[in-house]
Chains A and B, each alone.
Chain A
């Protein structure tokens, strides 16, 4: 077990709704990355948070947003949900020291279904 936790485990929403997913990083880690994984695909990078600021973003629209808190936990918010947002959302925790990002460990994920 990595020590990275995510909530909720599963979630069902309808199109147009908003959702907030949560992640607690592993103790000692200061960086959180969020990924979306569709069935049969590799995880796709959404964004990364370091020291409470967004520190890089993948090809996702602005309705995907996030936060990182002083304790390094993080939230992913998705507005105006679309059917294609149905996926496994993964949070990965890692440590950045002197500009170098070390191994990242994943939480168990949140399975989001949009109807």
Chain B
């Protein structure tokens, strides 16, 4: 099976930088997703990492270390609208099933 861990909740200040960590244990790793989900809405795709390293996309960056089973999502210049749950999801196995963590609820405060 797969085990994915991420913090339950985080609080950060508007304009600051926040890093949301995700650790995983799996076999047959293919890739790792980060999604943003506002309350009552569907998840929105943020990033997809297959190889080690940092990928930057505007204010959001995602890092992956396959050997350590570790990823993080970095959010810069936080805005109030960034308050949401951030889901880490691992794609693995023969049919490349995607398994989600329980999500990190981020609250951005003024």
Contact = CB atoms under 8 A, between A and B. Distances in A.
Contacts of A103: 33, 45, 48
A58 interface: yes
Interface of B: 30, 33, 35, 41-45, 48, 87, 89, 91, 93-103
Interface residues of A, number: 28
A101 B43 contact: no
Contacts of B48: 102-103
Main SS class of interface, A: strand
A33 B42 contact: no
B42 A109 contact: yes
Interface in A62-115: 88, 90, 92, 96, 100-109
A25 B42 CA distance: 15
Given A101-B91, A108-B41, A41 B33 contact: no
A101 B100 contact: no
B102 to A, nearest CB: 5
